[in-house]
Amino acid sequence: MKTTGHVFKYADNVDTDVIIPARYLNTPNAAELALHCMEDIDKEFVKKVQQGDVIVAGWNFGCGSSREHAPLVIKTCGTGCVIAKSFARIFYRNAINIGLPILECPEAAEEINAGDDVTVDFDTGIITDNTTGKTYKSQAFPPFIQNIIEKGGLLASLKDND
Amino acid sequence: MGMTMTQKILAAKAGLDKVVPGQLISAKLDIVLGNDITTPVAVNEFNKAGFDSVFDKDRIAIVLDHFVPNKDIKAAEQSKQCREFSCNHCISHFYDVGKMGIEHALLPEQGVVTAGDCIIGADSHTCTYGALGAFSTGVGSTDMAAGMATGTAWFKVPSAIKFNLTGKLPGNCSGKDVILTIIGMIGVDGALYKSMEFAGDGVKTLSMDDRLCICNMAIEAGAKNGIFPVDEKTVEYMTGRCERTPVVYEADSDAEYEKVIDINLSAITPTVSCPHLPENTRKASELSQVKVDQVVIGSCTNGRMEDMETAYKILKGKKVADGVRCIIIPATMSIMRECSEKGYVTAFIDAGAVVSTPTCGPCLGGYMGILAAGEKCIATTNRNFVGRMGHVDSEVYLASPATAAASALTGYITEYKE
């Protein structure tokens, strides 16, 4: 599985309140929520994002609340992958559980620029910046987590184990 | 090498003699929690996956607390969905308006959680229950759905940071000043993926409300959980309250910690987190030029009885400064009742404050105290991110109930002096 798209770049500690502000959490409807993705730090994001695009960010991406709405809106907007220097643990767990690919790679997160054209290969963990020609290797998921992603999320994997 | 308290609970719940940091385990859950925002997403996932029953109707807690009494039609629909699911599955710990409280104040108070438990909650502040000597951590709605269906969850066993507490807090400080000081020291990802294990002689000087507040904000340092040893105060708190028998785990004397950080409680000073991250801490005394428009005393962090007592002590017979809105929110109905019985509610109203029934409301910018552009609020809540309490150009300063109440009287951030 691969994704190719343009990069939206953000700083450290992007929290779940800016990914999807709580004032919109009066609905569980993903499409409705996704209209407000990243609104409080980047009003242009939802207007510009296209299928397969990649979010690149610094340390501790997704810190704060446990709201699963956060990875859900990022995925629903069409984002193909999030690359960060590190992820907050609940966000990391939620992203895997709903099937949003996320990769930790400090070097790539540092060097890749906003607007670059990037390809991410989830099977190998190879990130290619097509604009600069540089490649980066991120750590592959452990088998336990690969299984969840392959089955299409946590609940699907549980049903499969029945 | 021995195990930490967290590792011991996880080993027991996974049916293993020993676990090591980094190990992936499947653990049995004692309580699975959700609220009116996260439960609807979980219920949708639960139904979509085709589950038709929960693992144990007595081990699931659903608390309507974020937007109740409902703030709008959509929020009402979410509550209705929680209510119907709870009714259909005969969930015994379903808390609706009139019975509800802010989940992390309510579950310990009602004895739903106890020492030795393994708890997941679809709310990041689920880490609060570590104060009782439980392993308790925040997860998302899909994990909640899976937990409700199977009674198990997967975990990566965390490594640990030990906080060795010594001394005794000064009279104008509380648990909030301790945890803000720690977050200021180690940063908002200082304990990422790890457990924060509190230990040392200083523990016995902290009240249960202090410990609940400290564990509550472990997530604000990125931690998986925070945990306190069980001592006489814990046992006293749990006796006659907890519906299940507490199980006490102790860290091995040769447990491995990635780091040990000494915290002298006697040296703690009233601390405030400045916008827009909890790690941006300063001494309250250095912020006396900051003028505030609003004060909020409440939340899962600081809406407990001791917090209300502190606010009462400072506000009684005084007046909130002109131009300041002071909002006080007791965290549960029983705390509200006690505030009413003891005359606190009257004193708060006489001081010019408003008193609300329990709700998370303003903490997450839901309702009951939303800020306009350029406004500043000092709050006993737990997050001061951009836009957290309203407009993206508003500011939240996090502080203890004493600092917040003292600031309400002056209109500026004020260190409380006894």
Q: What's the average model confidence in pLDDT over B131-138?
A: 98
Gap between the Cα atoms of B175 and B183, Å rounded: 12
pLDDT at B224: 98
User: Quick one: what percent of chain B has pLDDT higher than 90?
Assistant: 99
pLDDT at A161: 58
Contact A86 B123 (CB under 8 A): no
Reduce the DSSP state of residue B305 to 3 states and report it.
helix
Does residue B45 sit at the A interface (CB-CB below 8 Å)? Answer: yes
Among A17, A60, A88, select the one facing B387 at the smallest CB separation: A17
B272-410 belongs to CATH 1.10.287.1770: no
Residues of B in contact with A156 (CB under 8 A): 49
Does residue A63 sit at the B interface (CB-CB below 8 Å)? Answer: yes
pLDDT in tens, A47-106: 999 999 999 999 999 999 999 999 999 999 999 999 999 999 999 999 999 989 899 999
CATH code of domain B5-264: 3.30.499.10
**Cα distance from A133 to chain B (closest Cα, Å)?**
32
**DSSP secondary structure letter of residue B370:** P
Does residue B372 sit at the A interface (CB-CB below 8 Å)? Answer: no
Report whether A109 contacts A120 (CB < 8 A). Answer: no
Confidence label for A141 from pLDDT (cuts 50, 70 and 90): confident
Residues of B in contact with A159 (CB under 8 A): 49-50
pLDDT above 90: residue B4: yes
pLDDT at A126: 95
Average pLDDT, chain B: 98
Does residue B143 sit at the A interface (CB-CB below 8 Å)? Answer: yes
Q: Which amino acid is at B55?
A: F
Confidence label for B325 from pLDDT (cuts 50, 70 and 90): very high
Enter the tokens of residue B286.
Answer: 């250095």
pLDDT in tens, B163-201: 999 999 999 999 999 999 999 999 999 999 999 999 999
**Cα distance from A161 to chain B (closest Cα, Å)?**
12
Cα angle value B196/B197/B199 (rounded, 5°): 140
Domain B5-264 and domain B272-410 have a common topology? yes
Contact B139 A90 (CB under 8 A): yes
What are the boundaries of each domain within chain B? 5-264, 272-410
Gap between the Cα atoms of B60 and B92, Å rounded: 8
Enter the tokens of residue B298.
Answer: 């409440």
pLDDT at A160: 65
A-B CB pairs within 8 A amount to 132
Which one is predicted more confidently, A146 or B160? B160
Confidence label for A157 from pLDDT (cuts 50, 70 and 90): confident
Domains of chain A: 2-161 (3.20.19.10)
Enter the tokens of residue A135.
Answer: 């490649």
Chain B residues 217-246 with a CB less than 8 Å from chain A: 219, 222, 224
H/E stretch holding B144: helix B141-150
H/E stretch holding B291: none
Among A27, A90, A153, select the one facing B138 at the smallest CB separation: A90
Residues of A in contact with B71 (CB under 8 A): 26
pLDDT at B167: 98
pLDDT in tens, B216-257: 999 999 999 999 999 999 999 999 999 999 999 999 999 999
pLDDT in tens, A17-53: 999 999 999 999 999 999 999 999 999 999 999 999 9
Does residue B75 sit at the A interface (CB-CB below 8 Å)? Answer: yes
